[in-house]
């Protein structure tokens, strides 16, 4: 947020300097005193007006980005339809559908700029609310049983081929995946 405030104050000071300059005030010292803008800033902007004819920043050096706003919108739509799509698949889809050749790393950087994060969802059981209610009902019915002749055993399982499919999400903590109860595993 401080970056936004800096841009706003910079535009405000530029417009104030330009206003006083256009109204006949040529001295940077007088403009600085009237606007309470630092003298150095006033001098810098007045020199800019004389040399360039404008106070706007020069265009930055560096290569322009390949992806434009329409490409960003397409990425967002594809992720909303299928958030388990990989950055490599998105790059291929951009090449096929939009004739835009970018790497998967470019796609990842762009998605991060748009607020998406690659996350591994939390696993939740696939038990339905009816199954959960049935378990509670059974426990209530057997609450007063004689458990002195009952043996309780416990088991643990090791999942063999753990599915780690990542998803793109703007809210990673809310991502859950439904996990079936019967997966390939070893019971001990």
> What pTM was computed for the model?
0.48
Query: How crowded is residue 78: how many other Cβ atoms within 10 Å of its Cβ?
Result: 17
The yes-or-no verdict on residue 1 having pLDDT over 50 is no
Contacts by residues 110-115 (CB-CB < 8 Å, ≥ 24 positions apart): 110/67, 110/71, 110/72, 110/75, 111/75, 111/79, 111/87, 111/168, 114/72, 114/75, 114/76, 115/170
Query: For residues 155 and 188, is the Cβ–Cβ distance under 8 A?
Result: yes
Structure tokens, 117: 């994060």
Q: 37-90 pLDDT, tens per residue? A: 888 888 888 888 778 777 777 777 788 888 888 999 999 999 999 988 999 999
Residue bearing tokens 């994060």: 117
Tell how strand 176-179 and strand 122-125 pair up.
Answer: parallel
Exposure string for 32-43, b = 16+ CB within 10 A, e = fewer: beebebeeebbe
Q: 106-163 pLDDT, tens per residue? A: 999 999 999 998 888 776 667 788 988 998 998 899 888 888 888 878 777 666 655 6
Structure tokens, 64: 């322009």
Give helix then strand counts, H and E, for the chain. Answer: 7, 6
């Amino acid at each position: 947020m401080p970056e936004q405030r800096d841009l706003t104050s910079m535009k405000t000071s530029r417009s104030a300097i330009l206003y006083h300059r256009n109204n006949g005030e040529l001295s940077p010292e007088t403009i600085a005193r009237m606007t309470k803008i630092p003298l150095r800033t006033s001098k810098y902007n007045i020199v800019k007006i004389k040399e360039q004819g404008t106070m706007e920043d020069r265009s930055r050096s560096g290569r322009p980005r390949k992806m434009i706003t329409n490409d960003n919108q397409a990425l967002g739509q594809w992720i909303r339809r299928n958030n388990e799509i990989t950055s490599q698949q998105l790059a291929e889809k951009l090449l096929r559908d939009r004739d835009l050749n970018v790497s998967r790393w470019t796609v990842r950087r762009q998605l991060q700029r748009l607020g998406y994060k690659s996350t591994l969802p939390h696993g939740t059981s696939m038990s339905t609310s009816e199954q959960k209610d049935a378990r509670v009902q059974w426990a209530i019915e057997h609450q007063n049983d004689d458990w002195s002749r009952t043996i309780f055993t416990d088991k643990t399982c090791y999942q063999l081929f753990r599915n780690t499919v990542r998803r793109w999400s703007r809210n990673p903590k809310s991502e859950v995946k439904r996990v079936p109860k019967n997966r390939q595993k070893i019971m001990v």
